[in-house]
Amino acid sequence: MTQALPKVIIHGGAGSSHGHRERLVALREDLYSIVKQVYGKAEAGASARDCVVLGCQLMEDSPHFNAGYGSVLQSDGQVRMSAGLMDGEAQRFSGIINVSRVRHPIDLAAYLQPFPDRVLSDLGAVELAREMAIAPFDPITDLRLKEWMQERANNFQSPMAGVVAEAVEVPATSESRRGTIGVVVLDMEGRLAVGTSTGGKGLERLGRVSDSATPAGNYATGAAAVSCTGIGEDILDECLAARIVVRVTDGMDIAAAFKKSFAEATANGRDFGAIALSHQGDIAWGKTSEVLIAAYHTGEAIGDTLELNSGTLTGVV
């Protein structure tokens, strides 16, 4: 079935809005710009997978988000990033875990798509970057380094860093935003794809693996595609992306799948958000956190999920 209009939804993290309301509103400009560029590529006839890669690259280039340039630092002061990509039509997942010194982790995940070995960790990532002749890139920004140094001065009391880089000198707190960036696209041919990229939660134990390069945080079939953001361990515990997609693939409509999955997550005390598209073109999102930083393009208009005073858990357009 040919889809007359492509659809796009992206996210840049989830968490609390406490003390950050003006900053979250300002992020609309970044989100809208990226959504427009991704939609323009899809409207020109590009595949969902290629559009997803572009969207992730654009968000990895922004210092405002916790992915690529602007990623948070781990406990040892280094940046290690992860990314996942799934082509819903081909039913192929690829991912890269704890890669360092690259600009676009999503490029490594995309490169792995045609190969039999499609998920690589740190040592394999180093060799892959060499194989791809990727120039070394330092993703650490001054703000992220300052954030880490403040945490060091406080003897690393915070369990994680903030996902959105702030222009003010405040230490991260456990109530900060957390998560990843993600892009979901339905192209003009009705194909679905999803990509997710992250710098991790920040300040974590060396070797910790996030959900982004697993089907729990990033999954698609021909029926639906989902990208997650938030506390990676909570997303893994719920196997959230795969759970929602399987429910839609089995015949549940996407609104019902989100409502059921987020009711379960709320009962379990989880902290995360998710965005999705169905093969029918329904745009969906959900959150147990206070804020989900996301924007979408319906083919006719752009919107976002920054309802700072809303208690809504899920939404569909």
Residue 20 lies in a domain: yes
Residue 296 lies in a domain: yes
Catalytic pick from 180, 214, 288, 305? 180
Q: Three-class SS of residue 260? A: helix
Residue 76 lies in a domain: yes
- For residue 229, indicate whether it is catalytic: no
Name the packing angle between helices 254-267 and 240-249 (round to 10°).
Answer: 140
Domain extent at residue 279: 7-316
pLDDT at 23: 72
What CATH number should be reported for the domain holding residue 281?
3.60.20.30
Residue 2 lies in a domain: no
Number of domains in the chain: 1
By CB neighbour count within 10 A (0-12 exposed, 13-18 middle, 19+ buried), where does 198 fall? buried
pTM: 0.92
Average pLDDT for runs of 10 along the chain of length 317? 82 74 77 97 98 98 94 94 98 97 98 98 96 96 92 80 46 48 98 97 91 97 97 96 98 97 97 96 95 95 77 73
